[in-house]
Structures are given as C-alpha cells and as structure tokens.
Structure 1
Amino acid sequence: MGMFDGKKGMVFGIANDHSIAWAITEKLHAEGAEMGFTHIPDKDPARPRMERRLRKLVEPIGAKVIMPCDVQKEEDIDAAFAAAKETFGELDFVLHSIAYAPMDDLKGLVVNCSRDGFKLAMDISAYSLIALAQRAQHILKPGGSILTLTYLGGEKVIPGYNMMGICKAALESTTEYLASEMGPMGIRVNAISAGPLKTLSSSAVGEFDLMLKLYEDFSPMRRGVTPEEVGKSGLYLLSDLASGVTGETLHVDGGYHIMGGPPVELQGK
C-alpha cells in the first residue's frame, strides 16, 4: 500500500524530465498518487511542443488532467481548477513549480533591471502562488498541502541569480503568510530550497557550473544533492508525515546554507 493511495493532486510547472517538479512527481506516483498537470501554453497550436513534452512524461503514469495554463490569465487558472474539481472532486495537494524572468533582466545587474521586467518576473514567480492558493482553498481537503520551490538566492546574494533572488524572497515570504492564513482551514503551505540541479531554469543562471563546484567544496556533506533526494523531501512535505509542518522553507542542499565561510581545509587557499 502506497503512502499516497487514494490521494489526488495538481502539479503546475513541469518543463521536462530534469525539472524538480518531475522528481517529486515520480515519488508521488510511486506512492500511489493520482495527478493532473498543466503546461505553458504553446504559442503555435499546430506545433504543441510544450504539451507533447509533458504528455510524454505524464501519460505513462496515468495523468488524469493535462492542459495548458498561463498563470498570468485568471481564466486559465480558473479552468485548471475547474478541471481538477470535475476530475477529482477534492484535492489533497498542489505543487507549484513556476518561475520566469526576462533574460535581459535576469542576466543583467539588479540595479539595471527594467520596471516591466520586474513586474513580469514577480507576477509569474511569486504572485502565481497566491493565485493558485486562492482557487485551491476551495477544493483542498483539511490536511491538504501546497508546496512551492525556491532557492538560497532568496535569502542571500548568489552572484548570477540576480533578480530571481528577489522573486524567491517574495515567494518565501508569501509561503509564510499563506501558511498563517490557511492553517485554520487545515491546509499547510511549505517550500523546498534545493541545492543547484541542472534544470531548464538553472541553465539561465550565470556561472552555474561554478555554483555546483562551490557546493561540492563548501557544503558539510562535501557534495551537491540529487533530484531523487529533493523528490523524497517533496514527498515528505506533501504527505501526512509532515502534518505538523507549515510555513517552512526546507533546505535540501547538503547543509550548504549553514556555512558562513569556507571549510577549514580550504582556508588560506
């Protein structure tokens, strides 16, 4: 019997098989969860690249819903949750894995960020969690859970992470406020702050390979983390094992976030 037998959820934001959301989804499926999924709408309906990519992953695991969702459009979010309600009745969990910033603003210095780029990045990367929670509150069961994904750049300056770090800071604060407001409904809201993994999002971050090397050298475990490790942590936070945990940002980074300086063996080098 799986931990998620009989449990149902919606997953927003799987881009491909390297996505952290996919690593979590694999663990949820292995434990018996039934899920629906959304993808970024394809610009050319005749060439549904995003839909095909998602279907290739989730159809073999029995996806109950597969549909486009632009989180900047209220009607798209309404449609996604209407489909969830029609298919599942009620939900046990929602996984939010959505972030975006215009490349010029992401690659450039924060001090040079454009107003329009900032608004767009915040809307998609942070406000979207609020938008999903607004709908989810009506169909999540008591004991249900919402999980989002963040990164250490939301707490500390990570060179190359730039404006996305500001968006993640907003996302983490949003997680805490939603946890406070939704707690009386019996709904938990948490975040995972994973160490760097090679995903579509990370490919846009400057000096990413250097970041991986730093984690191997600086973290207490002297290594990075794997998608499977992050997937297991996501499974935990969405499960009843974490029934007393809300408003938490769980670091799954080999302990890198606790370090205030280099390990002793690297000092003086």
Structure 2
Amino acid sequence: MKGLIVGVANDQSLAWGCARALRDQGAALALTYLGDKARPHVEPLARAVEAPIFLPLDVTRPEQIDTLFDTVAREWGSLDFLLHSIAFAPKEDLHGRVLDSSAQGFATAMDVSCHSLIRLAARAAPLMKNGGSILTLSFYGSEKVVPGYGIMGPVKAALEASVRYLAADLGPSRIRVNALSTGPVRTRAASGLSHFDALMMRAVETAPLHQLVTIEQVGDMAAFLLSPRAPTITGQTIYVDAGYNVTG
C-alpha cells in the first residue's frame, strides 16, 4: 500500500501514531510538514518510516497542494489511502465563547480543519485508480458540548457531515471515507484548548474502561480502516475513546 499522511507535527501527534502503525503493516508513506518551524520535528520521523516523499504543506496555499499531488503522481502513479489530521482555529476565537467568535476566525477554522479534507480528497481520488480509503480525525465535541472546545465543536460536526457526503460521492469509485473520533490525547494541538487537563481527568473517571487512549491505539484502528481489511466500512464516525462517548 502507498499512502499520504497529512498532519504529523511531532512524535506525540495522532498522525504519527497512525504513521507508525501503517508502516508496521508495510505501507509506503508520504509525509508532509506545515512549514520551516515544523520541519525539524517532522523530518526525523519521516526518516524513521523511510518516507520517500516528504514535502511542505500548508493547506491554505494551493500551490503546495499542487506540488504535493504532482509529486505523488510522478513518483508513485497511484495512491491507496489518505490520512487527514489537520485542525486549527485562531487562539482568540478558540478560547472564547462560540457566541463571540468572529466571522473570519470561524471561517479560518472551517477552511483549515474541514474544507481542507474536501480539497485533498478531490486531488487524491483520481490517484485511487483501484479504489482506496480516506480517513480524518475528529473528537466527541462534535456532538456534545465539551467545555473549552469552543468553535471546534461546530467545525468538527461539519467535518463528520462532510465525511458522510464524501463517502456517498466517492462510493461509486470504491473509495471509502471515514472519521475516527478519539478520546482526549495530550497532543500539541490539544494543549491549546482551555480546561484540557480537566477534560482528561473527566474522561478517565467516566469512560467505561477508565483510561485514556494512546496514539498507538488510535494508530491501530486507523491502520485497519485504511487497509483492505475494512472493505465495506464507509461514511462512519468510529470511536476510539475507551467508551467515553457513551457516558461523557
């Protein structure tokens, strides 16, 4: 299998847990990094999984999307899977009430965190000549109010709805589209949320398994969903959260 992973920021990233699991299954991986500041943290990881393609990707820059997919097409000619693990909201909008969010901040969060999946799927689909799989990462705040999650709640809800519609659009091409909804994991992105420590404590207290999930456990499920072993699973939001969603 050959796949593109977008969103590795460091060795604590959910996307990195997924990359390691996929590499352990023998997949060839293309990895991206956000910019010059991120490169020193991601480049050693790309070497660790022997990624033959390692390029910058800011999803707000169309020319970088063009370069990435042109390179994948030239080097590989096809693609079996895409993992989308990108989320961003301006700090002033993320830390405030949804009621007070700015139109520009909300639009930025929606563009980077949600519509980027649609843009990348549109470019990946023609390379999935024999079918394939697309996976994005979500969180329980998409369906229930989680203190401190702010505008990312509505944005992740839109992301999960987009997964369902993309699954319908791409099903005739035998391309599956799913979302993984994880429990709280201490990643760099999550550290930007207010009340995150309290959220993690609540997850341990209320989840049926009374534990947090790890990036490795998320990676194992991602590797399954992105593989040919899940040929009929599409349009789903699948929880990897120790059961937190049933009691949270």
Give me the TM-score of the superposition, normalised by structure 1.
Answer: 0.90
Q: Quick one: distance in 1 between partners of 2:142 and 2:132?
A: 26
Paired residue type of 1:39: Y
| Deviation sequence 1:172-213 (CA, Å, 0-9, x none) | 000000000000001000010000000011001111111111
Unaligned runs of 5+ in 1: 1-6, 43-48, 261-269
Q: Quick one: distance in 1 between partners of 2:165 and 2:67?
A: 25
Aligned partner of 2:13 among 19, 27, 35? 19
Q: Quick one: distance in 1 between partners of 2:153 and 2:125?
A: 27
For 2:129, what is the secondary structure of its paired residue? strand
Any runs of at least 4 consecutive aligned residues in structure 1 with deviations exceeding 4 A, and if so which? none
Aligned partner of 1:162 among 135, 141, 150? 150
Q: Quick one: distance in 2 between partners of 1:60 and 1:17?
A: 11
Unaligned runs of 5+ in 2: none
Aligned partner of 1:122 among 110, 115, 125? 110
Q: Which residue of 2 aligns with 1:50?
A: 38
Q: Which residue of 2 aligns with 1:243?
A: 231
RMSD of Structure 2 on Structure 1 (CA)? 1.0
For 1:240, what is the secondary structure of its paired residue? coil
The offset of 1:72, in angstroms, is: 1.1
For 2:152, what is the secondary structure of its paired residue? helix
Q: Which residue of 2 aligns with 1:215?
A: 203
Larger Rg: 1
Q: Which residue of 2 aligns with 1:104?
A: 92
Q: Quick one: distance in 1 between partners of 2:58 and 2:77?
A: 23
Q: Quick one: distance in 2 between partners of 1:158 and 1:38?
A: 30
Give me the TM-score of the superposition, normalised by structure 2.
Answer: 0.98
Whether the 8 Å contact between 1:196 and 1:211 is mirrored in structure 2 is yes
**Does residue 29 of the first structure (1) align with residue 17 of the second (2)?**
no
Aligned residues: 248
Q: Quick one: distance in 2 between partners of 1:89 and 1:228?
A: 30
For 2:130, what is the secondary structure of its paired residue? strand
Paired residue type of 1:117: G
